[in-house]
Structure 1
Amino acid sequence: MSEQERGEVEGEQPQETRPSESLSAALGQAARRAGLDPAEDATTGKVVWKAMGGVRGIVESVLPLLVFLVSLTVWRDQLVLAVVLSVAAAAVFTIARLAQRQAPSAALGGLIAVGVAGALVLFTGRAEDNFIPGFLTNVAYGSAFLISAFAGWSLIGLAVGFLMDEGLAWRQDRRKRRVFFWLAIMWATLFIARLAVQFPMWLSGTDVQVLGTVKLVMGIPLFAPLVAVTWLAVRALYPPKKAEPDTRESL
């Protein structure tokens, strides 16, 4: 009789993966793919650079919007052309990753986002509506980080718990719980700040080029330092283990 069958006979239920553990695993795997694994021995600069995707990642995130803004500046009121060019710019990166047999997830996600924004612009006929998907994204991420922090289930803590193979044990450590709370608050603040600055500008009819410039400035320039702060805080909680010297005497 197997252990599982024996447990069922004795009245014990088979252990199931809890939703929190599944979420922790998903967040941890996403962080690992982004190069944010505290178990790895890497410099802060290297971690931040990898999290941004290097030169290609930065270009992939910036170029489609830049092309959209420049197109509207050069060819005023040519919304269709601006949308086509921005979607084409995002599509090139996705095709390049597929051709090189690289993971297309980042570029594909960007292509979908640019496509949705472009479709919305063509539907409404308003260039400024290109920013609506970004507003919704900021609301979703900001709310998720904020709620997780005050609920005691920091998304940062869940990801780190999986990466460090301690599961949910961090919730029993007051110091870790406090650090993960404030890290989640900081990330929530980033997304909420973007929304608080850009949404009123959108409502007031601010020029599209100005709003686009503000979005770019509040993108990677704010994201990178926060990644560095998060990395340093987590490494302080989980310092790399030093290899123990070999004390065995040679024969």
Structure 2
Amino acid sequence: MTSDDRTPPPASASDIIGAALGGAARKAGLDPAEDASTQKVVWSAMGGWRGILESVLPSLAFVTLFTISPEPLILSLGVSVGLAAVFTIVRLTQKSPPSAALGGLIAAAAAAALALFTGRGADNFVPGLITNAVYGTAFLVSALIGWSLIGIAAGFLMGDSTGWRSDRRKRRAFRWLAIAWAALFFARLAVQLPLYLTDQVTALGTLKLVMGLPLFVPLIAVTWLVVRALYPRASTEEPASQP
């Protein structure tokens, strides 16, 4: 049998996860292999002005209208979902991938449907609470078992695969980055869950906004800087060739 006849080995779980995480990071503009400033990377990760508006306006509209007039609940929920629908239409007209464009709208509609079904405005925030619990657990477990999700994604993007695991410095840095991300998600959960359980909708919505982008941005910046420090560009590592 010639080498051309050999089938490639099946992809490992780390390769599959790395490709998924790395692909998502690359689409968000978080590719450490590219030469970009930290400011540009963070701005790209937020999605620019449109991303900021998409993250803030639906929740802000819901909290504001609910605070002014809790009843009828459908009013505040309808405006919130309506804004998400407008952003989705804008994305689709600009040829964004349907999955990316529809994701936010589906999440907003599902949350609103749950709140209407139960009659509790606080239930509009249940998907966010679940997301924080799932993401926090995933990052923490990955750090504890030595397969940091940050390391897996960075390894894929930098062509290092699982090589980072044999480098003590990289392994330690990626472990602490994963723990930092887990801490962010669990901090949100720890603050917001008691408010949800006591039905403090206005405080819950306000703190969701406060603990959203303002905490996400600095952690994205730190993650980017650490990965770039661990994988310096070849041009900065290799001395210029002499004529």
Q: Distance in 2 between matches of 1:44 and 1:210?
A: 32
**Are 2:48 and 1:48 equivalent residues in the alignment?**
no
Any stretches of 5+ residues in structure 1 without a counterpart? 8-12
Counterpart residue number, 2:216: 223
Q: How do 1:104-123 residues align onto structure 2 when only pairs under 5 Å count?
A: 104-123=98-117
Deviations 1:67-111 (A, max 9, x none): 111222343311112221111100111111111212354442211
**Are 2:188 and 1:194 equivalent residues in the alignment?**
yes
Deviations 1:28-56 (A, max 9, x none): 11111111111111111111111000110
**Are 2:195 and 1:183 equivalent residues in the alignment?**
no
**Are 2:157 and 1:163 equivalent residues in the alignment?**
yes
Counterpart residue number, 1:19: 13
Q: Which has the larger radius of gyration?
A: 1
Any stretches of 5+ residues in structure 2 without a counterpart? none
Q: Distance in 2 between matches of 1:75 and 1:104?
A: 34
Counterpart residue number, 1:134: 128
Give 3-state SS (helix, strand or coil) of 1:232's partner: helix
Give 3-state SS (helix, strand or coil) of 1:102's partner: coil
Q: Distance in 1 between matches of 2:93 and 2:205?
A: 31
Moved more, 95-104 or 188-197: 95-104
Moved more, 72-81 or 18-27: 72-81
Deviations 1:159-207 (A, max 9, x none): 000000111111111100000000000000000000001101211232x
Q: Distance in 1 between matches of 2:16 and 2:78?
A: 39
Q: Distance in 2 between matches of 1:2 and 1:25?
A: 29
- Give the CA RMSD over aligned residues: 1.6
| Paired AA for residue 39 in structure 1 | A
Counterpart residue number, 2:72: 78
| 1:237 maps to which of 210, 213, 230 | 230
Counterpart residue number, 1:10: none
| Paired AA for residue 101 in structure 1 | K
TM-score for the superposition, normalised by structure 1: 0.91
- Percent identity at matched positions? 60
**What is the number of residues matched between the two proteins?**
241
